[in-house]
Structure 1
Amino acid sequence: MSLDLNNHSHRRWNPLTGEWVQVSPHRAKRPWQGQEEETPGEQKPQYDPECYLCPGNDRAGDASNPDYDSTFVFTNDFSALKPDVPSDKVNTDDLLVAKGEKGICRVICFSPRHDLTLPEMELKQIRDVVDLWTTEYKELGDRDYINYVQIFENKGEIMGCSNPHPHGQIWAQDTIPDEPAKELTQQREYYKKHGNTLLSDYLELELERDERVVVSNEHFVVVVPYWAFWPFETLLISRRPFGRFTDMTEAEKEGLADIVKQITVKFDNIFEVSFPYSAGFHPAPTDGKEHPEWHFHMHFYPPLLRSATVK
């Protein structure tokens, strides 16, 4: 009997992180008697006077928002990372180890309208968001102590999003976080061995097979990765190998806005709800080094399994 990947339990290799993923396709057929989530109400006002992200409203302390009419970015009032932290290290017997971590956290409001999400925004409005992502990546990454800039969005209450106003976050910090660090190691080793970026060769393979391609345009492709951990997990990959937001051409920025809209609309249409997810870009580190091995990409991790209420 040969291995049937559609029915037999098996492990799949994630070449981006160097880890194995357990896959048990037969378990998707089991009846569900577990917890089901309530779908949140979809009616939201265009402006909420109680929302701390809406234009003109007060935030924490004495801070208040300007009457912005496009995108808006500010340093998080409750930042997880601070720039004035000492870099001291604590080590007790190599068991109790800690180290100070400098950084900056910012919030990006995608739109002044409280009732919109990315798939509901016009393409031009999403392009404005792409431009702001690029500006923030460069401005923060140019700082001497910032070696990685994470740009991400947690969408939906079940993803822990504390405010429904359309927004994302930026964490810029001294240390390259664990997941990008794993990807750096794997991409570097692959590049040394093959002379191409790992994701260039992987994307070529996916396009040839055309089994897991979800949406695409001239500059970007979204696939369900072969090593996906979640049913609706997707990976956005640039067709041209580049590492940084600042490497994008104007046409590629337009393409990124378009592909983000395409995939988020697809998500919303699966169960006809505002689809929750955790999504984040993995650009090249901003450590002042050249990174020819790095290939620009973005991960989407939706929690839903088989309906709008099962996660």
Structure 2
Amino acid sequence: MKRTVTHLADGRELIYFDRHDDADRSAVDTRTLPPPPRASELRRDRLLGEWVTIAAHRQDRTYLPPSDQCPLCPSTPGRPTEIPAADYEVAVFENRFPSYSGRVPEQLDGVVPGLGRCEVVCFSPDHDASFATLDLAQVGTVMEAWADRTAELSTLPGVGQVFCFENRGAEIGVTLAHPHGQIYAYPFVTPRTERMLQVARAHRDETGGDLFADVLAAERAAEVRVVAANDLWTAFVPEAARWPFEVHVFPHRKVPDLSALSAEERAAFAPLYVDVLRRLDRLFGVPMPYVSAWHQAPVAVDRDLAYLHLQLFSSRRAANKLKYLAGSEAAMGAFVNDVYPEDAARRLREAE
């Protein structure tokens, strides 16, 4: 895998990932850009004990541009983009409108800065592609990029957790249609991860077992909610799914993060994941909006408790209906699902 590091006109880092060593990545960003924004502000919610990030500069981020003005497509003569090259395989660059940044103001005046880093991962140069249409070699390149960035971002000062994810579809809130994902290097451990690790610790103390491994073993034994599986990975609908269509993808070997996966595990993930994505798209005959979220171990704590896995979920509950987070979910955090998880798993298995 060839890895080429360069910089955009405003100093942000850009990294190309290529399967071929002869890829030419000498193109230069010719734009005139303002300096990147300073780090956001962290504020503590005293009622919940959670961090909230205030990033007002993100109000000005690019919003639903027409396809001929997409900033994630390769550059063409007369139209430079975030990717200076005329073509690319996978490109990763610092977000122009980051939620977290290492650029800290000199005068903080009691403000807690949102230290960290936010990156954009472009999965393909093809504006009309999707992750589900990538060939398996391309998925492998994306996996290499995720693993590389997880390892590197974990070494940054103050980073507590690295989160690789993809939001797909306007229904989810995506503002750029080009196939891409993001990586957040948080300056804290996220609430969901803290809660999962708390439950995992209690399970270990009570039973001596590993919560995640026990859940995976139970789902594989029951089979009724398994959507797809191979020798190294299993995809299943969780027993208490919060979303109408939600699939968790676990490696059979416990590892803390993407960088710890073996070459065989990375290769085995690609066909299974693409199969699940294509089943989601076939379910209603329209592209399925989704969030695809990698749950990784925190950088410095509880790495022995954590178990790498992917959570994939959609807000679509029927061909012409979406699930909105209304009163119970949004205010109380108490989910009500309109679809039996067993039915969701069956329908996905039948979506050949």
TM-score, scaled relative to structure 1: 0.76
Query: Of 73, 78, 89, which residue of structure 2 is paired with 1:70?
Result: 89
Shift of 1:201: 0.6
Does 2:202 match 1:189?
Answer: yes
Which residues of structure 1 form unaligned runs of 5+? 1-46, 91-97
| Aligned counterparts of 1:277 and 1:251: Cα–Cα separation in 2 | 27
| Aligned counterparts of 1:64 and 1:206: Cα–Cα separation in 2 | 42
- Structure 1 residues 307 and 265, CA gap change in structure 2 (3 angstroms): same
| Aligned counterparts of 2:246 and 2:112: Cα–Cα separation in 1 | 33
| Aligned counterparts of 1:286 and 1:195: Cα–Cα separation in 2 | 24
Query: Of 174, 181, 195, which residue of structure 2 is paired with 1:168?
Result: 181
| Aligned counterparts of 1:64 and 1:253: Cα–Cα separation in 2 | 26
> Match for residue 9 of structure 1?
none
> Match for residue 95 of structure 1?
none
Shift of 1:261: 0.6
> Match for residue 19 of structure 1?
none
Q: Is the 8 A contact 2:99 2:114 kept in 1?
A: no
Of 188-197 and 199-208, deviating more is 188-197
The code of the aligned residue for 2:304 comes to P
For residues 157-236 of structure 1, the aligned pairs below 5 Å read: 157-236=170-249
> Match for residue 250 of structure 2?
237
Q: Is the 8 A contact 1:190 1:198 kept in 2?
A: yes
| Aligned counterparts of 1:89 and 1:250: Cα–Cα separation in 2 | 47
| Aligned counterparts of 2:84 and 2:275: Cα–Cα separation in 1 | 30
Query: Of 75, 80, 92, which residue of structure 2 is paired with 1:58?
Result: 80
| Aligned counterparts of 2:67 and 2:305: Cα–Cα separation in 1 | 45
Shift of 1:228: 0.6
Query: Of 276, 280, 295, which residue of structure 1 is paired with 2:307?
Result: 295
Does 2:144 match 1:125?
Answer: no
| Aligned counterparts of 1:261 and 1:195: Cα–Cα separation in 2 | 35
| Aligned counterparts of 1:89 and 1:256: Cα–Cα separation in 2 | 47
> Match for residue 129 of structure 2?
116
Shift of 1:48: 4.4
Shift of 1:247: 1.2
> Match for residue 40 of structure 2?
none
SS in 1 for 2:114: coil
Moved over 4 A (4+): 86-90
- Structure 1 residues 144 and 209, CA gap change in structure 2 (3 angstroms): same
Shift of 1:149: 0.4
Aligned residues: 254
SS in 1 for 2:129: coil
SS in 1 for 2:292: strand
The code of the aligned residue for 1:78 comes to F
| Aligned counterparts of 1:88 and 1:301: Cα–Cα separation in 2 | 39
Percent identity over paired residues: 27
| Aligned counterparts of 1:290 and 1:80: Cα–Cα separation in 2 | 25
SS in 2 for 1:129: helix
> Match for residue 319 of structure 2?
307
Does 2:140 match 1:140?
Answer: no
> Match for residue 277 of structure 1?
290
The code of the aligned residue for 1:225 comes to P
| Aligned counterparts of 1:183 and 1:81: Cα–Cα separation in 2 | 23
Shift of 1:236: 1.2
Which residues of structure 2 form unaligned runs of 5+? 1-65, 324-352
Q: Is the 8 A contact 1:188 1:293 kept in 2?
A: yes
> Match for residue 81 of structure 1?
100
| Aligned counterparts of 1:121 and 1:49: Cα–Cα separation in 2 | 22
Shift of 1:81: 1.1
| Aligned counterparts of 1:229 and 1:275: Cα–Cα separation in 2 | 17
Shift of 1:229: 1.1
| Aligned counterparts of 2:127 and 2:278: Cα–Cα separation in 1 | 18
Shift of 1:129: 0.5
Q: Is the 8 A contact 1:54 1:65 kept in 2?
A: no
SS in 2 for 1:222: strand
Shift of 1:259: 2.2
The code of the aligned residue for 1:256 comes to F
Does 2:278 match 1:265?
Answer: yes
SS in 2 for 1:157: coil
> In angstroms, what is the RMSD of aligned CA positions?
2.1
Of 108-117 and 210-219, deviating more is 210-219
| Aligned counterparts of 1:265 and 1:255: Cα–Cα separation in 2 | 16
